[in-house]
Amino acid sequence: MVATWNPAAASSYYTRQRETSYYAGSNEPPGVWYAPAGDFGVVDRAPVEPETFERLYHAVDKDGRPLLDQVRRHKERTPGFDVTLSAPRSVSLVWAFASYDTRRLIEAAQENAARSTLAMLEREAVWARRSRNGAFLEKVALTSATFRHGESRPAEHADGRVFGDPNLHTHCVCLNLATRSSDLTVGGLHSKIIRDFKMAAGATYHAALAHELQAIGFQIDRIGKNGVFEIAGVDDTIIKYFSARRQEIEGELAEHGVVSSQATALAAAITKATRSAKQENKPHQREEIWRESARALGIEVETFTETLRDPTRALDREAAEQLFSERLAVLPAALTEHESVIERRELVRAVAAVLVGTGLPAVRADTEVDRLQHQGQAVEIGRDPLGLPCYSTPEMLTIEREIVDRSQRLAARSWLTITPAQIVDSCKSRGLTAEQTDAVLAATSSSAIAVVAGAPGSGKTTTLVPVVDAYTNLGCRVIATATAWRIANMLRDDLGIEARATASWIERIKSGEKVLDDRTVLIADEAGLLSSREMHVLLGAVESAGAKIVLVGDRRQLQAIGAGPGLDLVTRAVEAARVDTIVRQREPWARQAIAAFGQGQAATALQAFADRGLLIEAHGGKAALTAVLDAADRVQADDPSASVLIVAKSNAAVTAISRGARERRKAAGLISGHEVSFVAATPSGHATEISLAAGDQVRFLVRNDELGVVNGTAATVVRVSEATCSSGGASSIRVEARIGQRCVAFDPMQLADAQGRPRLGWAYASTVYGVQGLTVDNAVIYVDGNCNRYDAFVASSRARDQSILVVDAKAIDRQLACELPFDRQRDSLVFADAERRSWLAERLSRAVPKISTLDVIEGAKPLERKVEQARQPRRELSHEL
């Protein structure tokens, strides 16, 4: 499902003459109204009359008078919101090649699914603003003009043909006005709520369409994210061929080092900027093109659809209910895997998504959402700023309350006392600043818990040395932990103590191993990355053993991947000692710029980098990735002994940069000899193909005790070889690599995940999450529109000497163009440097902090995930592939 949010354009864009219309094109049926409430006299399911649509689109009554006061005051407004519901490509194919009767059934299924989706939006997300600045909301009815279309825009296919693919989709133009029943006045809709329910609308559409298609005899499979599915029996190769427009867009996204799921805004910009006009073929002409192309692929067009459909197939209701129940049983845990708080839209989305494939109607989602609440599996904990309910699970409520309670008890518990004078003398002898000394005093207080918070590069590890020495001198056992093995190993080496990844300690604790005792101090570094569940386990173990815990981290850096802000909950009970003076960077201006990023003042920071020639604006995805590699090569050439780190936001960008880096190394003769290729897994679990040869730099992405490696261990390949299995099975690969002064030999399958994909990657670039806690001499950072304040703060603070920022100016131009009316959007538009800089600064100033259940219950933080900076609202567009 795709929702596009269009700036106001002339209403003729939707209803102009049939021969040139997009929404009422010559190959497409007339529009149909969705208006169950009959607002403004519109008749539900009636054909859309251009005159009525144009009038309501411009919010005027039959006499030409404005329906909205806003229209009288402002000429510019958003007349409507286009929610586009696109069927899976396999559905479009069975529709395109179906008999007349079957095609009508599929079209009815699409119409019913669209209406079900609009009904959900009307129930959940359609509100009118009231009072000054829309401070209050009132529930209203939805009026939408729906237009069903059947093809995508022309694109070149694998065989060189150029045509628009079968693409069954419905444009639902939701009018931005409604009658308020309280006083019969007319108001505009709250667009943000509708936009926020976009994913819920997609899941509802998938559930409704799947049900309708199963009811007429089709089976579905390949159920994916948010309930997207395909028709069983339609091969992936056929789907790929007839998805040329999608391949075109994904190909351009690949130049930027991203995929559409990771960069929806950029995908939208590319989609709109590069689309061509739809071909005006007559219906029989486009269908003949489709059939001819299908026959060239070996498809029996005349029987293709009917062989996939069994009209006599009946739903096994008992099996369907059982499957649905099993999925619902694990839903609460899945919903709180990454977030403690479940927003209403997410609950609706998730329940609708698990309906897909059961064969049950989409209306069951409403019943099950209510049942989850009534049975206490989803507990309402408060309301967001718009008044919509928020939920959590009993488990998360208990965990997060207990974190605060345990923190309070640990803070009140007396532990070993160290004379402050001893600490001060120790700090002076090591040259610590007054700020660092205060942090050491806080960490060595007689309380059983302490929190040291500090900016990146503020010398937190240096601050820990006297803490470790003080407790070691008292005969205590000091151990450390960090979420990443690589950082844990650095703590081990820097502090001379036992250190393990947090997951490893937690595994030992849960197995019953006695990890702690009343003479143990546990130092948890990068504690801002600890989720509520992780923090709960650690505090529980510390309290039970009578140990002490020192949490070192910064809530202003990267947030926990798991649910809940563990460190934030602790600081409700324990005051943190802050170390904010940055000492890592050698240049004062760099320290100031990094601090500005952390404070959400990205415009100031970007200007500082630009003034020194350290902000590079490339034009195009390929050019940007080339600029990253060129910058890294220049820095390395200037000082071959200095370390250089390349950083990007996403794994896809890291992979794209790494491919380019590898090609350069091959051209320079640094990589040579026999080469092997295989499909590996990225850190995020996606499949990617990598090649290895002697000279390659690789990174292990999983711990393997036999090889003596952890997640993050880097190695240099010395030799690769392949051996063919004598029994005719798959060949095996042997990789010999050097890790420091030692050598290891392994088959990549020793590192395989559950899907048989080795967790091994190139080590030419890293994600922002992969570099938090690292220090290098120089860094080159690929900055895109998905980066936020935390990313900028962490990435820019890794290097002592020089950080270079690289951006894709063309990508920014495209996203700026998306905010213009349709008739002004062009791929050739070039914006001024100041406009680009302002757009980028806005993105890099955004902060989306993790929210706890207690935040919502107590109203401590806004839930709507606002940026922590006032900014102008922007119209947002998604993409249609």
Rounded to whole angstroms, the Cα distance separating 262 from 246 reads 15
pLDDT score at 372: 96
pLDDT above 90 covers a percentage of the chain that reads 72
Confidence of residue 867 (pLDDT cuts 50, 70, 90): very low
pLDDT score at 284: 66
pLDDT score at 879: 32
274 pLDDT more than 70: no
27 CB-near residues (< 8 Å, 6+ apart): 150, 151, 280, 281, 282, 283, 286
Confidence of residue 458 (pLDDT cuts 50, 70, 90): confident
Decide if 7 contacts 822 (C-beta within 8 A): yes
6 pLDDT more than 90: no
User: Which segments of 74-197 does DSSP mark as H helices, in order?
Assistant: 89-96, 100-124, 191-196
Q: Do 754 and 781 sit in the same domain of this protein?
A: yes
Decide if 157 contacts 248 (C-beta within 8 A): no
Rounded to whole angstroms, the Cα distance separating 486 from 490 reads 6
pLDDT score at 865: 35
Q: Which position has the higher pLDDT, 709 or 819?
A: 709
Confidence of residue 854 (pLDDT cuts 50, 70, 90): very high
Which among 749, 781, 785 has a CA at the least distance from the CA of 768?
Answer: 781
Q: Residue range 277-285: average pLDDT?
A: 58
The 8-class DSSP code of residue 453 comes to E
Rounded to whole angstroms, the Cα distance separating 191 from 502 reads 42
Q: Which two tokens stand for residue 273?
A: 């900027």
Q: Do 502 and 602 sit in the same domain of this protein?
A: no
pLDDT score at 64: 86
Classified as helix, coil or strand, 110 is: helix
Rounded to whole angstroms, the Cα distance separating 784 from 257 reads 10
Q: Do 552 and 627 sit in the same domain of this protein?
A: no
Number of Cβ within a 10 Å radius of residue 302: 11
pLDDT score at 250: 62
Confidence of residue 24 (pLDDT cuts 50, 70, 90): low
Rounded to whole angstroms, the Cα distance separating 39 from 391 reads 33
Residue type, 68: L
116 CB-near residues (< 8 Å, 6+ apart): 204, 205, 207, 208, 362, 363
Decide if 524 contacts 813 (C-beta within 8 A): no
862 pLDDT more than 50: no
The CATH number of whichever domain residue 536 belongs to comes to 3.40.50.300
Question: Minimum mean pLDDT among 199-203, 257-261, 379-383, 509-513: which range?
Answer: 257-261
Which among 4, 415, 398 has a CA at the least distance from the CA of 171?
Answer: 4
Q: Do 575 and 444 sit in the same domain of this protein?
A: yes
Residue type, 111: E
Beta sheet of 477-482, edge-to-edge order: 498-501, 477-482, 520-524, 548-553, 449-454, 576-579
pLDDT score at 153: 82
Q: Which position has the higher pLDDT, 279 or 80?
A: 80
The 8-class DSSP code of residue 271 comes to H
Which among 321, 350, 323, 345 has a CA at the least distance from the CA of 334?
Answer: 350
Confidence of residue 455 (pLDDT cuts 50, 70, 90): confident
Confidence of residue 727 (pLDDT cuts 50, 70, 90): low
Please report, for residues 76, 253, 263, 820, 879, the alpha-carbon distance to residue 817 in angstroms, rounded to integers and kept in the order given.
Answer: 17, 17, 16, 5, 14
870 pLDDT more than 50: no
Which residues make beta-bridge pairs with 180? 185
133 pLDDT more than 80: no
Q: What are the tens digits of pLDDT across the range 339-396?
A: 999 999 999 999 999 999 999 999 999 999 999 999 999 999 999 888 899 999 999 9
In a domain, 12, yes or no: yes
pLDDT score at 818: 75
Please report, for residues 171, 309, 311, 789, the alpha-carbon distance to residue 219 in angstroms, rounded to integers and kept in the order given.
Answer: 26, 8, 11, 45
In a domain, 371, yes or no: no
Confidence of residue 280 (pLDDT cuts 50, 70, 90): low
Q: Which position has the higher pLDDT, 19 or 754?
A: 754
Question: Minimum mean pLDDT among 37-51, 127-141, 360-374, 774-788: which range?
Answer: 127-141
Q: Which residue has the tokens 């689109």?
A: 57
Q: What are the tens digits of pLDDT across the range 664-700?
A: 999 999 999 999 999 999 988 888 999 999 999 999 9
In a domain, 391, yes or no: no
Question: Minimum mean pLDDT among 58-62, 211-215, 572-576: which range?
Answer: 58-62
In a domain, 658, yes or no: yes
Q: Do 545 and 631 sit in the same domain of this protein?
A: no
pLDDT score at 121: 96
Q: Residue range 726-734: average pLDDT?
A: 72
Classified as helix, coil or strand, 430 is: coil
Classified as helix, coil or strand, 827 is: coil
Average pLDDT over the chain reads: 88
Q: Do 574 and 631 sit in the same domain of this protein?
A: no
Q: Do 95 and 51 sit in the same domain of this protein?
A: yes
Q: Do 619 and 491 sit in the same domain of this protein?
A: no
pLDDT score at 814: 86
Please report, for residues 118, 297, 427, 675, the alpha-carbon distance to residue 432 in angstroms, rounded to integers and kept in the order given.
Answer: 62, 72, 5, 51
pLDDT score at 826: 62
Question: Minimum mean pLDDT among 159-163, 826-830, 876-880: which range?
Answer: 876-880
Residue 110 burial by Cβ neighbours in a 10 Å radius (0-12, 13-18, 19+): buried
286 pLDDT more than 60: yes
Classified as helix, coil or strand, 251 is: helix
pLDDT score at 460: 86
Rounded to whole angstroms, the Cα distance separating 55 from 61 reads 7
The 8-class DSSP code of residue 131 comes to S
pLDDT score at 75: 53
Q: Which two tokens stand for residue 712?
A: 């993050």
Q: CA 798, 801, 807: angle at the middle one, nearest 5?
A: 65
Number of Cβ within a 10 Å radius of residue 630: 17
Q: Which residue has the tokens 């290098």?
A: 776
Question: Minimum mean pLDDT among 11-20, 411-420, 460-469, 760-769: which range?
Answer: 11-20
Residue 337 burial by Cβ neighbours in a 10 Å radius (0-12, 13-18, 19+): exposed
Q: Residue range 317-331: average pLDDT?
A: 96
Q: Do 628 and 774 sit in the same domain of this protein?
A: yes
701 pLDDT more than 60: yes
In a domain, 792, yes or no: yes
In a domain, 366, yes or no: no
Q: Residue range 61-73: average pLDDT?
A: 75
468 pLDDT more than 70: yes
Please report, for residues 23, 143, 175, the alpha-carbon distance to residue 44 in angstroms, rounded to integers and kept in the order given.
Answer: 19, 9, 14
Q: Which two tokens stand for residue 806?
A: 């690289």
752 pLDDT more than 50: yes
Which among 50, 46, 81 has a CA at the least distance from the CA of 177?
Answer: 81
Q: Do 420 and 519 sit in the same domain of this protein?
A: yes
pLDDT above 70 covers a percentage of the chain that reads 87
- Which residue among 535, 558, 579 closes a domain? 579
Rounded to whole angstroms, the Cα distance separating 863 from 339 reads 12
In a domain, 10, yes or no: yes
Note the pTM of the prediction, 2 decimals.
Answer: 0.86
In a domain, 217, yes or no: no
Angle between helix axes 344-355 and 198-215 (nearest 10 degrees) is 20
pLDDT score at 3: 44
Rounded to whole angstroms, the Cα distance separating 204 from 115 reads 10
Q: Do 574 and 597 sit in the same domain of this protein?
A: no
Q: Say how many domains are in the chain.
A: 3
Rounded to whole angstroms, the Cα distance separating 826 from 817 reads 7
The winner for highest mean pLDDT among 282-296, 607-621, 729-743, 829-843 is: 607-621
258 pLDDT more than 80: no
Q: Residue range 293-297: average pLDDT?
A: 93
pLDDT score at 829: 78
Domain span holding position 155:
2-197+226-242+281-302
Q: Do 678 and 532 sit in the same domain of this protein?
A: no
800 pLDDT more than 70: yes
Angle between helix axes 602-611 and 789-796 (nearest 10 degrees) is 40
Rounded to whole angstroms, the Cα distance separating 178 from 188 reads 6
- Which residue among 554, 579, 604 closes a domain? 579
